[in-house]
Structure 1
Amino acid sequence: MTTFQYLWKLIAYRPMRYTLNAVMWTLIYLAPIAPGLVTKEFFDTLTGHAKLDYGVWGLIALLMAAAIGRMMLIIIGFITDVNFRFRMSMLLRRNLLEHVLKQPGAQAIPVAPGEAISHFRDDVDQSEEAVSWSVDVFGLTCFALVSGYILIRIDAQMTLLVFMPIVLVITAAQLATVRLQKYRAASREATSKVTGEISEMFGNVQAIQVAGAERRVIERFARSGDNRRKAMLKDKLMGELLDSVFSNSVNLGTGLLLLLAGAKMRSGTFTVGDLSLFVYYLTFVTQFITNVGKFITYFKQMSVSLQRLTFLLQGASAKVLTMARSLHLKGEEAEPEHEVAAAAVAPAPLEKLEVNGLSYAYPDTGRGIHDIHLTLPRGSFTVITGTIGSGKTTLIRSLLGLLPTGEGTIRWNGVPVEDPGTFFAPPHSAYTAQVPRLYSDTLRNNILLGQPEAGPESLPQALHAAVMEQDVQHLANGLDTVVGPRGVKLSGGQAQRTAAARMLVRDAELYVFDDLSSALDVETEQKLWERMFERRREATCLVVSHRKTALARADHIVVLKEGRIEAEGTSAELLHSSPTFRELWHGDERKA
C-alpha cells in the first residue's frame, strides 16, 4: 500500500464526517475574504475612494459581525475535527490490536511491549495528523484561489509577489524528503527502544536487584537515552529548518510587496484600500504557504509511520489497518448480527478430544514436539509429565493455538478444529499458563478480567476451588486489594491460585493447567485438586505436572522425552515400564 492509498483509505472510512469537516474548515478559511473586502472599503472611505456608502460605523459593524461569525464556525469546526480524528485513530488502533490478539501467543508482536506501545501511540498519531492537515490544505487552497482571483483583478504583478514563496516552499520540502524520512525513522526507532527498556526494567526490578546489575542497567539506559536525544535533535532541527525556509520565504515576498506598493501608490494606480487588502490577505496566504509545507512534511513522515505499523502486522497486508470496522460508539452501526449470534451459541459438550500427529518445531533451534497422539474422553484427568525441556508446555501451547500452526489434526467430538487459537477459549476451554499474567489492578478485576459475575456465588466459589478464600480475608482490602504490576504484592503461590480462580470462574468444557502447582505446598495442592473435582465433576482436565499429587489422581499419564511420547498409562503401569517416570516419581519423593 502506498502512502497516498493509506491516506485515501483513512479518509474513506468515514467519508461523510471527513466531508463535513472539510466543508467546515473551508468555510473557516474562506471567512476572511469578506472582512478583507470590508477593510479595503474602510480605508478607501477614509481617503475618499469608497465605492460603497455604508459609512465608517457601518463598516465597523460588518467587521465585528464577520469576526463573530468566524468564531462560531471555528467552534463547530473543532467539534467536527475531533469527531473525525478520534474515529480515524481508533480505527487504526482497533484493527492493529485485533490483529495482534489473533496471532499465536509466541508471535503476537515482533518487538518488546514498550516498543509496540510507541507504534500504537506515536505512529497512529502521526497518521491522524497527516489526514487532519489535508483538510487545512484544502480549505486554504480554496482561500488562495478566491483571494488570488480578487487580488489579480486589482494588480497581477503584486499578486505574483504574494504567491511566489509557495514555489520555494514546495521545492525545499521535496529536496528534504529523503533526509526527513531518514531522521524521522531513526527518531521513532530510538524512542521505541527507550520505551521498551523502561518496560523491561519495571517488569524485572527484582531480577535486576538480585543480580546487583542496577549500575549496568542504568548505564545501558543512559546510552539509549543519549542515542534518542541525538536522533530526535536531528529530526527536530530538520523540521525547524524547513519551517524557517517556509516563514522566511514569505517574509521575502512581503518585503518585495511593500517596496513595489510604495512605487505604485505614488503613481496613483494603487490605493490605500488596495494595500490594506493585500496586507490583510497576506497573513492568510502566509498560513497557506506554511501549511502546504507542513502537510508535505507530515505526508512524508506518514510513510515512515505506515512502514512501522505494517511491520507490526508481520507479513499481513497493510489493508488490515484500514478495514472498516465498528468502533461500538453510540449511534454507530454495530457488528453484523450473525457474528454476535455465532459468538453467543453454546458449544457442544465435549465427549472426546482427539489429537493426531501434532508437531511443532521452533524456527531458531529446531526443538519442539513430534507426532503427538492424545485422546481425552469427557470427564478424564490427563497429566502430561516429563523432564525439563521435554516439550510439555510446547505441547499445551500448540494444542491451544498459542504457537503458529504446525502439523497434525485436532478434533472436538470428531469435528476438526480449524483455528485452535480462536476455538480454545471459554466456553470451550479455559487455560492457566505456567507463569501467571497479572495486572496492576484489584484482585477482583484480575480474576474477572471484565467478565460479569454469573451470580453472587460465582466468584466466592471460584476462590474456594482455588484455595484462595483464606488469603483474601487476610488482604488489607480483600478482593479490592491492588496486586501491583505483574502481581508483585502476592506470593508465588497466591499468584498461581489467583490465575486458577480466574480460570475456574469461567464455565468451560476443558480445563488446561500448565504446571499450576509448582509454587504450592503439598497440602494446598491436595486441597486444590480435591475442590476441583468437587466443583467440576464432569469437566475434562489436561494438566502439566511432575508432582505426585497430580500424577496419583490421573486417569491417564503421558510421559514426554525430547518432544516425543516415551510412555503412557496409569501411574502404577508407568512405575513398572518407564525409567523416566520412576525418576520423576521418586525425585518428587526426595524433594518432599
Structure 2
Amino acid sequence: MTTFQFLIRLITFRPLLYALNALAWTIHYLIPIAPGLILQQFFDSLTGDDTLKIGTWGLIALLVAAALARVAMIYVGCITDVQYRFRMAMILRRNLLGHILKQPGARAIPVSPGEAISYFRDDVDQTEEAVSWSVDVFGLTCFAAVSSYILLKIDVQMTLLVFLPLVIVVTVAQLATSRLQKYRRASRESTARVTGAISEMFSNVQAIQVAGAEERVIERFRRFGEDRRKTMLKDKLFGEALDAVFSNSVNLGIGLILLLAGTKMRSGDFTVGDFSLFVYYLTFVTQVISNVGKFMTYFKLMTVALARMLELLQGASPKALVAKGTLLLRKGSRPADAETADAENRRPHDQEPLQALEVSGLSYRFPDTGRGIEDISFQLAGGSFTVVTGAIGSGKTTLIRALLGLLPKDAGTITWNGKPVEDPGTFFTPAHSAYAAQIPRLYSDTLRNNILLGHRDEGGALDRAVHDSVMEYDIAHLHRGLETVVGPRGVKLSGGQMQRAAAARMLVREAELYVFDDVSSALDVETEQKMWERLFEGRGNAACLVVSHRRSALANADRIIVMKDGRIESEGTVEQLLASSETFRELWYGSPSHA
C-alpha cells in the first residue's frame, strides 16, 4: 500500500463526515475573496472609480457580514474536524490493537510494550495530522483558483509574481523529502527507546534494587535521553527550516509587487483599488504557500508513520490497518455480535461437553534457538485430570502454548470431539477452555476486577472461584477484601496469592477444559492440596490439563505425560512411571512430599 492509497482509504473511512469537513473549511477559505473585492471598491470610491455605489457604510456592512460568516464556518469546521480526526485515530488504534490481540502470544508485538506506545501515540497522531491538513489544502486550492482568475483579469504579470513563491516551495519540499524522512524516523525510534526504557524500569524496580543496578540503569536511560535530544533537535530544526522557507518565500513576491505596482499606477493601468486587492490577497496567498508546504511535509512524514505501523502488523495485509468497522463512542452502545459473544460465553455447557481432545504430531520450534517441541501426540478425555511434567527446558510450557494457539504451530492437528480445530488461538477461549499462565499478569486495579476482567459475576461464580482457588482466608485479611488495589503487576500480593488470583480468574469462567501452567509452584503443600481437592469437587465434567512437577498434582493425576528434550518420553500413572521411567523417578523423589 502506497502512502497515497493509505491517505485515500482514510479519507473514505467516513466519506460524508470528511466531505462536510472539507466543505466547511473550503467555504471558510473562500469567504476572504469577498472582503478583498469590497476593499477594492472602497479604495476606488476615493477616486470615483468604484462600481457598486453603495457608500462607505454599505461596504462596512458587507465586511462585517463576511467576517461573521467566516467565524460561523470556523465553528462548524472545528466541530467536523475534531469529529473526523477522533474517529480516524480511533479506527487506526483499534485495528492495530485488534490485530495484535488476534496474534499468537509470541508474535503479538515485535517491540517492547513501551515502544509500542510510541507507535500507537506518535505515528497515529502523525497520520491524523496529514489527513486533516489535506482538507486545508483542498480549501486553499479553491481559494487560489478563484483569486487567480480575479487577479489574472486585472494583471497577468503581477499575478504570476504573486504565485511564483509557490513553485519555489514545491521544489524545496520535494528536494528535502529523503532527509526529512530520515530525521523523522530517527526521532521516532529514539523516542520509542526512551518510552521502552521507562516501561522496563517501572516493571523491574525490585530486580534493579536487588541487583544494586540503579546507577547503571539511570546512566543507560540518560544515554537514551541524550540520543533522543539530538535526533529530535535535528528533526525539529529541519522542520522549522522548511517552515521558514514556506513562510518567507512570499517576501520575494511582496517586493516584486511593490516595485511593479508603482510603475503601473503611474502609467494609469493600475488603480489604487487594484493595488489594495493584490496586497490583501497576498496575505492569504502566504497562507496557501505555507499550508501547502506543511501538507507536503506531513504527507512525507506519514510515509514513515505508515511503515512503522505496518511493522506491528508483522506481514499481515496493510488493509487490516484501515479496515472499516463500528466505533463504540456512546455509553452503552454495543454491537449485536458482542452481545452474542457474551451470551455464547455464558451459555450452558451441557450442549456439547468435551468428550475427547486429541493432539497429533504437534510441533513448534522457536526461530531464534531452534528449541521447542516435536511430534507431540496425546489424548485427553472429558472430566480427566492430566499432568504434564518434566525437567526445566523440556518443553512443557511450549506444549501448552502451542496447543492453545499462543504459539503458531509448525505442524500437527488438534481435534475437539472429533472435529478439527482450525484456529486454536480463537477456539481455545471460554467457553471451550480457560487458561492460567505460568507467570501471573495482574493490573494495578482491585482484586475483584483482576479476577473478573470484565466478566459478569452471575450466580455466585466469583465466590465459587475464590473458594476453589483457596483465597477466602487471604481476602478476609486484606485491607479492603476484594476491593483491595493490588498495585502494578500485583506487587502488593505474595507470589502464592498472585498465582491463586490467576487461578481464580480462570475458574470464574465456566469452561470444558482448564489449563494450569505451573500455577502452584509458590504454594505450600497444604494450600495446594486444598486447591486440587476443591477443584475436583466443583468442576463437574470439566477436564484439567496441568503443568506441574509437584507431588500433590502428580498423585491426583489420571494420566501423566513426561516431557524430555521437546518430546514425550513416557506416559502413564504414578505407579507405572515409577516402575518404567528414570526421568519420572528423579522428578518424583526430588519433588516436595506431602509431609
Q: TM-score, normalized by length of structure 1?
A: 0.96
Q: Give the Å deviation of 1:372.
A: 1.3
In the alignment, is the contact (CA less than 8 A) between 2:551 and 2:594 conserved in 1? no
Inter-partner Cα distance in structure 1 for 2:492 and 2:5 = 49
The code of the aligned residue for 1:241 comes to: A
Inter-partner Cα distance in structure 1 for 2:76 and 2:476 = 54
Map of 1:212 onto structure 2: 212
Deviations 1:298-342 (A, max 9, x none): 11111111111111111112121112222234599986x679757
Deviations 1:363-399 (A, max 9, x none): 1221111221111111101000111111110110010
Query: Aligned to 2:389, what secondary structure does the other structure show?
Result: strand
1:183 aligns with 2:187: no
Query: Aligned to 1:52, what secondary structure does the other structure show?
Result: coil
Aligned residues: 590
Inter-partner Cα distance in structure 2 for 1:133 and 1:14 = 16
Q: Give the Å deviation of 1:19.
A: 1.4
Map of 1:572 onto structure 2: 575
Map of 2:527 onto structure 1: 524
Q: Which range moves more in the overlay, 257-266 or 343-352?
A: 343-352
Map of 1:89 onto structure 2: 89
Q: Give the Å deviation of 1:351.
A: 0.9
Deviations 1:496-551 (A, max 9, x none): 11111111111111000000101111111111112212221221000001111111
Q: Which range moves more in the overlay, 154-163 or 217-226?
A: 154-163
Inter-partner Cα distance in structure 1 for 2:251 and 2:479 = 67
Alignment of 1:243-392 (within 5 A): 243-329=243-329, 341=340, 344-345=343-344, 346=347, 348-392=352-396
In the alignment, is the contact (CA less than 8 A) between 1:43 and 1:276 conserved in 2? yes
Gaps of 5+ in 1: none
Counterpart selection for 2:421 from 387, 397, 417: 417
The code of the aligned residue for 1:350 comes to: L
Closer/same/farther in 2, CA of residues 491 and 332 from structure 1, 3 Å limit: closer
In the alignment, is the contact (CA less than 8 A) between 2:386 and 2:544 conserved in 1? yes
Query: Aligned to 1:512, what secondary structure does the other structure show?
Result: strand
Counterpart selection for 1:511 from 502, 510, 514: 514
The code of the aligned residue for 1:430 comes to: A
Inter-partner Cα distance in structure 2 for 1:338 and 1:384 = 37
Deviations 1:266-317 (A, max 9, x none): 3332222222221221111111101111111111111111111111111112
1:433 aligns with 2:437: yes
Deviations 1:220-279 (A, max 9, x none): 111111111111111111101111111121112112212222232333322222222212
In the alignment, is the contact (CA less than 8 A) between 1:326 and 1:334 conserved in 2? no
Inter-partner Cα distance in structure 2 for 1:476 and 1:288 = 63
Gaps of 5+ in 2: none
RMSD of the TM alignment (CA)? 1.9
In the alignment, is the contact (CA less than 8 A) between 2:551 and 2:593 conserved in 1? no
Query: Aligned to 2:309, what secondary structure does the other structure show?
Result: helix
In the alignment, is the contact (CA less than 8 A) between 2:525 and 2:594 conserved in 1? no
Map of 1:113 onto structure 2: 113
Deviations 1:532-588 (A, max 9, x none): 122212210000011111111111111111111111111122122212112111112
The code of the aligned residue for 1:125 comes to: D
Inter-partner Cα distance in structure 2 for 1:36 and 1:180 = 37
Inter-partner Cα distance in structure 1 for 2:235 and 2:14 = 32
The code of the aligned residue for 2:579 comes to: H
1:562 aligns with 2:571: no
Inter-partner Cα distance in structure 1 for 2:433 and 2:321 = 30
Inter-partner Cα distance in structure 2 for 1:332 and 1:151 = 55
Closer/same/farther in 2, CA of residues 529 and 327 from structure 1, 3 Å limit: same
Inter-partner Cα distance in structure 1 for 2:390 and 2:214 = 37
Map of 1:240 onto structure 2: 240
Inter-partner Cα distance in structure 2 for 1:508 and 1:332 = 27
In the alignment, is the contact (CA less than 8 A) between 1:381 and 1:555 conserved in 2? yes
